[in-house]
Structure 1
Amino acid sequence: MGRHRRGAKREVTVADLIDELRRFDPRLQVRLAIEPRMPQEHAVGAVTEADGVVWIGDAGRLGYAPDEVRDRLGWT
């Protein structure tokens, strides 16, 4: 979602994020994966808007994400 096919970063809109999340069971928990080399699992915090951008806050590190997360995110 956050990259073009050639690997160049692109901006993700609220609509993009909503479309991606609709694929999943709405009862599932949400986590942030950070650091491609050693994926860490972070909880999602507050969500707000400032300066025309929606910000998703980090609610703290929970540990390391399973290897499957790195694979599915294409970080291998």
Structure 2
Amino acid sequence: MGRHRRGAKREVTVADLIDELRRFDPRMEVRLAVQPRMPQEHAVGTVVEADGMVWIADAGQRGYAPDEVGERLGWI
């Protein structure tokens, strides 16, 4: 799905997300990384369809993401 580039609009489809996730052990937990300047770790919540899109809910902050996460995402 590529690295984040400031100002670049990039839409991710369900197929894109499935393809990316296939690389990993299906038993692994999933987290969302948010806030590039101080990466936080958030749990994934409910997944629903509405308004012609799939929505993934944030299930709350779990702490701060390790430096390695920001590095691999190209944030630091």
The ranges of structure 1 where at least 4 consecutive aligned residues each deviate by more than 6 angstroms after the TM superposition are: 4-7
Alignment length (residue pairs) = 76
Specify which structure has the bigger relative contact order, considering alpha-carbon pairs within 8 angstroms and separated by 6 or more residues.
2
Aligned residues with identical type, % of pairs: 83
> What do you get for the CA RMSD once the two structures are aligned?
2.0
Letter aligned with residue 40 of structure 2: Q
Per-residue Cα deviation, 1:31-63 (whole angstroms, up to 9, x for no partner): 000000000000000000100010000000001
Compare 7-16 and 63-72 and name the one that shifted more. Answer: 7-16
User: What TM-score do you get using the length of structure 2 for normalisation?
Assistant: 0.91
Letter aligned with residue 67 of structure 1: D
Q: Which consecutive residues of structure 1, in runs of 5 or more, have no partner in the other structure?
A: none
Q: Which consecutive residues of structure 2, in runs of 5 or more, have no partner in the other structure?
A: none
